[in-house]
Structure 1
């Protein structure tokens, strides 16, 4: 584990143990509402049996008040947003996808590990590593967007790769959750191979994130 990843995990665990209660994740961010969808690039985790087994094992212990468990088909790693679907034209989507496909053709698939558990006030995640490979893919996607638009949405900095397995659904106390999570702090991670980046139309639905796949871009095509 790199020093950045180790430092982040230690810092977040320390902060979580000092946290008296959760922060409800499901407040409406600017521009969001129930009938609106958002174009964003994600990594998704279909057919990843090793990861699904680990997440299922951890989630069995997290069926606690205040936590909304993420279904296995809802696991995702947020990479880069584009904009709300009612504000981005189909021609721009086609151009961004084509440029992303061209640039990602030379990138190898991502070999990643997920784990151990990595909590914060709004949810329980899995630490993802190595960060540098994900950051390189994100930079490639941002460069592709920049070839189509003059301004790339969202900041380049402040990105922390993570995969959430449970969102905080209320201001419940953290102590019972900490007690459960301690058993998983040193559990071996799951290995995954990511062979594509996915452009989705994301929506919020019944205290979960669901999406429609718009395009997939192979890595190392």
Structure 2
């Protein structure tokens, strides 16, 4: 792809993300994205083939953001457990700062959008390989690092997903934890640490 074409593609993806954040799912149309990008609908069709292609590209772009975050983490240290907990906390930060992107990645905010299976496999494999590598460093002998990573991720995902859901609604006075960032982070940290211990992950 030529640099000019890549730049135009990025402009449309930035516009699509802005539309999704500002107007929600109803505004995520070819026309809505074209207007946000200051372009014609024909130019959107020319680059993406239509709404499905645009959504696939936007889906890929959101995973690229998470992959870039994982790639940008500090180098591994001798304390693999601390490194893994740091990764988990950065994952939570990503979800909290980008709830719309996070929903596009792991939920179905656009009911009629089902990402291309090949694309889903590719972005998940590329992104989570970085996560599995960190888990592998602290796995006991004979443990399947992929399975351990999946179980740990589901704990992370469940905790942050519940946090985002509660944050989107009026606080409940009798909820498990106070509606503060400090309380949610402490609960998340405790939950992730407990899962790591339960999986037998340890420094070697």
User: TM bucket by the smaller chain?
Assistant: under 0.3
Q: Name the structure where helix makes up a greater proportion of residues.
A: 2
**Counting strand residues as a fraction of each chain, which structure ranks higher?**
1
**TM-score scaled by structure 2?**
0.24
**Larger RCO of the pair (alpha carbons < 8 Å, separation 6+):** 1
TM-score (norm 1): 0.23
